[in-house]
Structure 1
Amino acid sequence: MTAALRRYDPPSLSERLRAAHAMTRPLMLEIIDKACRRIPSLGQSERTARVVRLIDAEAWADAALALMELELPLWQVRRIAYDEGEWHCALSRERELPDWLDAAVEARHADLSLALLSAFIEVQAVAAEMSRPSVPSVRAAPDPLYEPVVCDNFG
């Protein structure tokens, strides 16, 4: 099945990540299957092989960062912080802007890799929202009784 035909459901993925206590291989593969559009189109390149090697080694945080590098080339990690038992992760398109000007996407979780992937899923949801056109792209079929009329008055 092509990436364009797969159903992407970010709320359910976000809920799954929030409910998870630790990263697992099946959860990581589900995220790649449901939320990643570029990995299937890249085929077996060196960059995708690196992600696979990191998953095989169970280096979840490194795999999450490599996945973000592949899937979100315009986004960067703005902040990773540990506070009161939770990891806070912020992704941004404009990392050099001050915090109060930046529209960063933030997520948190007790597990670092799950915090990173939660932010990744949130960015994917934001990107999907932004890519929708505000005007329908399919024109409605013209009414058979419709006939244009010129109503200019030149006299």
Structure 2
Amino acid sequence: MRLLKARRSPVELSSRLRTAHAVTAELMSDVIGEACRRFPSMGQTAKTARIARLTAAEAWTDAALALIDLELPLWQVRRIAYDEGEWYCALSRERELPEWLDRSIESRHADLALAILGAFVEAQRVAAPSSRPSVPIVARDVRDVSRFDVPFCCDNFA
């Protein structure tokens, strides 16, 4: 099983998960190789060994939940539901908040493991560190500063 490979677009991986009919060892390997940053970590060998055992046993749903536990420790499964032939999976960082206040990641698929993996990949994409600086850069145009120097009265005399 290939566990490490070149990273591709998360959008491409999400579309592959949506169009798949069932989880295979190759698809799980692609998810681990493309979406997981902590999988080959030295500090969590028990968790990575568990995922490898679950994958070898083709326990796809348990492997997907174990990936969430390893890769997204701050995220939790908010809801798993089955309705009209599809599984719905929602992941959340704030599970104790009311649902209308929470910004959860949702995915759906006819296969439970693929619904969980779809939500996992989307949460990985959202949680991925961006390459932007922490403080936005504002371009300053010295020529336009003078138009903002006009005084005006803002008192309410009523």
- Which TM class, normalised by the smaller chain length? 0.7 to 0.9
Matched, 1:86 2:71: no
Identical amino acids, percent of aligned pairs = 67
The equivalent residue for 1:53 is: 53
**Count of aligned pairs:** 134
Gaps of 5+ in 2: 138-158
The equivalent residue for 1:20 is: 20
CA distance in 1: counterparts of 2:68 and 2:78, whole angstroms:
13
114 and 75 in structure 1: CA distance in 2 versus 1, 3 angstrom threshold: same
Written as runs of structure 1 = structure 2, the 5 A alignment for 1:61-140 is 61-128=61-128, 132-133=132-133, 135=135
CA distance in 1: counterparts of 2:61 and 2:92, whole angstroms:
18
Question: Aligned partner of 1:71: which letter?
Answer: E
43 and 30 in structure 1: CA distance in 2 versus 1, 3 angstrom threshold: farther
CA distance in 2: counterparts of 1:119 and 1:85, whole angstroms:
18
CA distance in 2: counterparts of 1:6 and 1:135, whole angstroms:
31
- Greater shift, 65-74 or 43-52, is seen at 43-52
Deviation per CA, 1:16-71, whole angstroms, max 9, x where unpaired? 00010000000000110111000122377111110011001100000000011000
The equivalent residue for 1:143 is: none
Gaps of 5+ in 1: 138-155
Structure 1 residue runs of 4 or more that deviate by more than 2 Å after TM superposition: 5-8, 41-44, 128-137
Task: Report the Cα offset of residue 7 of structure 1.
Answer: 3.0
CA distance in 1: counterparts of 2:132 and 2:53, whole angstroms:
34
- Greater shift, 113-122 or 34-43, is seen at 34-43
